[in-house]
Structure 1
């Protein structure tokens, strides 16, 4: 591609888990329909494939990870960009636009793209299109779709191309010159990831004014309307007679799925669950819409072109042990090689009547090259649940081929640009292995997946509903029934029984199954070859559209694997935790898991023990602080043994909270023990659901912060303590942040703006550290 090509611009992306990359690739795929020719690169390719110093027009899609940092793929680029030696006109020749991804559940919402924006301005670059800041907390598509829609005409104008000859190709008029943004707060390139394709390419602006339910989608030439033969009259969506013809044409298709659906339905109904949405008299449901959507014209996303072909090798037999783990592809954020660890104990820390079940697992890492510190994290490589894999194989009609070897090839003359075979699927694989170990079958369906499913759905009513769910007009229904319900591919296929996509199309769209990270809750000073971690067993109850109740992919798997060795935590007469005697336990096979290290260098104890620490960790957020306190206790013991009075230990405070003192007070006896030994100076607890018998008692950790605000702020502002927050980002971490702003304002007598600056300075000095998640 030559630099002088008409309509050429540089398209860059920085992605941690795949969201930003997928959106950039969507822009790349759609650009030719607008007469544009992007050159796309990952930010990690700086100075290898591109150089900003040689570019005149650039579009960037970038996410935020950690505590407002750039993703790993963008760190090198950012490091070079922020060099203080660069002159103020270094990028004066560059015109740019930024689409940032974030999550307002975290503080410093979209901090990384905002940092890029600020730095570009400092270096003289000019912004030709307002930045978009998409919020995963409400759905990235809310901002991504209109931002991309508005980009095309502005980008054409920037490149000196006329828009007058492109209206027939679906190019929109320029949007108002204001940043498209959501709420403020930090984020991460979130969890469900990879295959995005969000965008609708709007064909005509009067789409919703049409009286007939035309369905529109962009093509390379112009918009087209799906013929009346392929759409359902909205006035007869609930009329069985209207669909008799379509139903008659799919008898053979339904026969292979009806057994699965009915068996699942009977099982779930016996447990009081509903599997598939039924048409409701009031309001829309997953499988049924109501006016005005059911009577509206629809603007559909561009159909992603097919590019993978499955070729079965009937004469080739392979055992699962012969298949490379995710094709030997590298894992994001891995700081060590993948290695095997042995689960040596599993202790239930909650009573049976607790709302959530928490498990403490101990791993033997003797054979793992992991050298950890308290506060570090590691990842566990887990499979999808076998029951869901079996159901999906059955639903796809692939029972006979489930264990046959296949290989993936690119479709000859595919229209997908830059098509590649996923590196996380082994070159020779089986259906069962791919769906169990390689692909994430739980990820909520992206609109591009729904758009693909439309093409493989025979029933007219089901086809229309899938079109609505992926359309611009159906964005509210998509959010309510797909995104908020976290519906998986299995959920959708069960809800729409005439939809039968080929395996190759699914493998194109299902993202990679990613490892699950956990905070380490132990100290290597106790035993460098052992580590502990704690987690709640995540429960997903049945709901409209969700085919069955289920547990978290990794937490459910660990719970199932450790059932034979699980031990309820108990207390002896001295009030100490009594661990299970593993030597007396007879099990036929050791429980193994694959792990790798994820070093969290910012969430560690201060090197100088004379630095005060304040720890806030309700629920399982207490995990890294158990490691902190074990470490301090061992250090205290060593100092005492050596008689060294030159080493001073500053105060250590912990704020812990849970629902009930007697049901889910995690590590209670350990924490009380740390208070006795002096490893923990102050323990402040709160129980949100316990009766107070008329007394005023703190319900949440922020209540205890207010109760002890004078001492806390003295430690934080005067004695330079480090504040650590671990746990839920959506509620707890945000509430703690707001409480600190309130208390700082009262303590200093300053207004909200100045209090915000003080808190921002604490973050900048790394004295306000978070390890939080959604």
Structure 2
């Protein structure tokens, strides 16, 4: 069937409706900007022919173990056929927006598949290509005209989606100007948009009047389970919680710790050692990360119970029905849910704020939730929700008329995630043990992690303070004696229990330990294999800790340099005004821009970064493109594409907190 005249296609593959909604919004916004797109679901592939199209925008989610959504599966199977020639889509320009969730394996796999399968490597300068890369053999000749976006539903799709959408219009206009003119727009009677009914339905569902404004809102979240409090029977919170027959966690025992900083230091850095057992249980490689399960803090648990309206019945048994999420399956009471199942500090997604608006008794609270969840309220959402340290719990405290039932409340809080720590030891050097190093975060809302001096309430880091409390247990001191204990500590001196803990005493439990042992697990994904490619390691402060594991597996720093296991060692000192070297690691990277560009772009190297997400990760992202422009002579556009390629190929490894 011949399509009406159009500038380009928007194709979506959607399992739950999120990709469909975003594609519909794109079609509406781009049409309002004067462009002429057609919208199709991928299962309508008989209505279009990509070999005859010149421009396409793909929006696709991922389901299962990195699989295509049901309505995209047939088109994907056709596209990935190995019999297709390498110039199958030679006339096609495209971009991809992938939706995924980092809480699951194979994040954004389908978005990455569409990007890799279609791309042509000539979007990078020829001198920076690796023509032996197996992925390039699958290329079908299409040109990626705009860097792909990979949005994370685990942290909020809008973080990636909204900036990606903001830049898409200019990229489309630029590309359309470079292509031959499209056929003239059809009349209203001729141009019956095959996706119009779908788009109209999306718009109708996402537009809600508030006052004199029509807000564009996310769809109402679909609820899959229900929860009921059972009375009057209670569950003793001191009894052991039931545990799944299979658990990814294994026990570890805190054996000793040492303080790495002087008492006068701005930050308190601690190194802890855990016994994790022998055999396969104790095997790990340099660069591997461990996930530490820690409970929420008691003060925040009490606040959640108060907000729920069920503080008095927090220890009554719960009854679940429907498709219960895995993180709630073994919780017997509301207190157990608040303690170990929900991320009480989590930032709510816009879809959850939209859902909570339905349970506000006061019009002002309802309007507030609707505004924050709307597209028009994006700036306020970023400033007051995304960049706030209070999270959903604080929002509910400020809006007391919002009283959602338990199953809605549980839905709006994300699952409690483990905190990840990279090993700063090597299994071969310390068999059966692993060590972590970290700064104790006294206040997560402070840029340097230190407690506020203005009298406001500090919000200590969840896992670093949990670790420190375990360290206190080795001294058998009361919380009130913490200051005295710290004063007696000696920098660099290991502190352990009177009776040493033997690694062979650590065994696999039948339940998560409740006797003071620390439940941890090793990530299944392996971060690095030494295949001879160069690696660049960036780590300010305690961020250097995981790299000690790399070098311990080889040798100490000086010996590593002599043996050329470590080719170059560059330091930057930010707190010493008399330093004649670099002040920040970004300065050191810029000064070595040519070498960094050569290692990453020509020699297919990897970049490892460990440090603060705000002070290290974000600033490094800002500088990397500048480094490529300076060191490799790339244009700003090619530098952005080069950085996107490193991300897509998982050659930028970050351990940020």
> What TM-score bracket applies, with the shorter chain setting the length?
0.5 to 0.7
Between the aligned partners of 2:468 and 2:319, the Cα distance in structure 1 is 33
Q: 1:713 to 1:357 in 2, by over 3 A?
A: same
Q: 1:147 to 1:527 in 2, by over 3 A?
A: same
Equivalent residue for 2:186? none
Equivalent residue for 1:163? 196
Structure 1: stretches of 5+ with no match in the other structure: 1-8, 14-20, 31-36, 41-49, 64-69, 104-108, 149-156, 173-199, 204-213, 216-230, 232-294, 331-336, 411-419, 640-647, 656-683
Equivalent residue for 1:381? 293
Task: Confirm or deny: 8 A CA contact 2:348 2:392 kept in the other structure.
Answer: yes
Instruction: Please state how far the C-alpha of 1:768 moved relative to its aligned partner.
Output: 6.6
Equivalent residue for 1:450? 353
Out of 261, 269, 273, the residue aligned to residue 362 of structure 1 is 273
1:580 aligns with 2:495: yes
Q: 1:408 to 1:741 in 2, by over 3 A?
A: same
Out of 573, 577, 582, the residue aligned to residue 698 of structure 1 is 582
Equivalent residue for 1:73? 66
Equivalent residue for 2:159? 139
1:652 aligns with 2:538: no
Out of 419, 437, 444, the residue aligned to residue 540 of structure 1 is 444
Between the aligned partners of 1:430 and 1:514, the Cα distance in structure 2 is 19
Q: 1:89 to 1:494 in 2, by over 3 A?
A: same
Between the aligned partners of 1:758 and 1:24, the Cα distance in structure 2 is 23
Please give the per-residue CA displacement for 1:69-111, whole angstroms capped at 9, x wherever unaligned. Answer: x99625999999767554458899x9999432599xxxxx999
Task: Confirm or deny: 8 A CA contact 1:11 1:38 kept in the other structure.
Answer: no
Q: 1:526 to 1:392 in 2, by over 3 A?
A: same
Out of 605, 611, 616, the residue aligned to residue 727 of structure 1 is 611
Say which SS state the counterpart of residue 271 (structure 2) adopts: strand
Structure 2: stretches of 5+ with no match in the other structure: 1-10, 26-38, 51-56, 102-106, 120-138, 169-189, 447-451, 476-484, 502-513
Task: Confirm or deny: 8 A CA contact 1:373 1:523 kept in the other structure.
Answer: yes
Q: 1:613 to 1:71 in 2, by over 3 A?
A: farther
Equivalent residue for 1:687? 573
Higher mean alpha-carbon deviation, 112-121 vs 751-760, is at 751-760
Say which SS state the counterpart of residue 345 (structure 1) adopts: strand
Equivalent residues in 2 for 1:287-298, closer than 5 Å = 296-298=213-215
Between the aligned partners of 1:751 and 1:132, the Cα distance in structure 2 is 21
1:345 aligns with 2:256: yes
Between the aligned partners of 2:430 and 2:22, the Cα distance in structure 1 is 51
Task: Confirm or deny: 8 A CA contact 2:66 2:110 kept in the other structure.
Answer: no
Equivalent residue for 2:335? 432
Between the aligned partners of 2:628 and 2:418, the Cα distance in structure 1 is 36
Equivalent residues in 2 for 1:496-535, closer than 5 Å = 496-535=399-438
Instruction: Please state how far the C-alpha of 1:201 moved relative to its aligned partner.
Output: 2.0
Between the aligned partners of 1:458 and 1:133, the Cα distance in structure 2 is 37
Instruction: Please state how far the C-alpha of 1:159 moved relative to its aligned partner.
Output: 10
TM-score, normalised relative to structure 2? 0.65
TM-score, normalised relative to structure 1? 0.56
Between the aligned partners of 2:601 and 2:376, the Cα distance in structure 1 is 51
Please give the per-residue CA displacement for 1:262-307, whole angstroms capped at 9, x wherever unaligned. Answer: xxxxxxxxxxxxxxxxxxxxxxxxxxxxxxxxx6454444433555
Please give the per-residue CA displacement for 1:200-236, whole angstroms capped at 9, x wherever unaligned. Answer: 8246xxxxxxxxxx42xxxxxxxxxxxxxxx7xxxxx
Please give the per-residue CA displacement for 1:392-441, whole angstroms capped at 9, x wherever unaligned. Answer: 1022221222111112224xxxxxxxxx3212212662111112211222
Equivalent residue for 1:627? 549
Between the aligned partners of 2:143 and 2:603, the Cα distance in structure 1 is 44
Instruction: Please state how far the C-alpha of 1:530 moved relative to its aligned partner.
Output: 0.4
Q: How many residues are paired up?
A: 543
Please give the per-residue CA displacement for 1:36-74, whole angstroms capped at 9, x wherever unaligned. Answer: x9999xxxxxxxxx99999999975348xxxxxx99625
Between the aligned partners of 1:53 and 1:328, the Cα distance in structure 2 is 47
Equivalent residue for 2:528? 603
Between the aligned partners of 2:259 and 2:371, the Cα distance in structure 1 is 45
Q: 1:97 to 1:769 in 2, by over 3 A?
A: closer
Task: Confirm or deny: 8 A CA contact 1:338 1:595 kept in the other structure.
Answer: yes
Q: 1:387 to 1:449 in 2, by over 3 A?
A: same
Say which SS state the counterpart of residue 206 (structure 2) adopts: coil
Task: Confirm or deny: 8 A CA contact 2:537 2:609 kept in the other structure.
Answer: yes
Out of 297, 320, 324, the residue aligned to residue 421 of structure 1 is 324
Between the aligned partners of 2:495 and 2:305, the Cα distance in structure 1 is 40
Instruction: Please state how far the C-alpha of 1:540 moved relative to its aligned partner.
Output: 2.2
Equivalent residue for 1:558? 467
Instruction: Please state how far the C-alpha of 1:622 moved relative to its aligned partner.
Output: 0.8
CA RMSD of aligned residues (A): 5.8
Between the aligned partners of 1:27 and 1:713, the Cα distance in structure 2 is 35
1:61 aligns with 2:60: yes
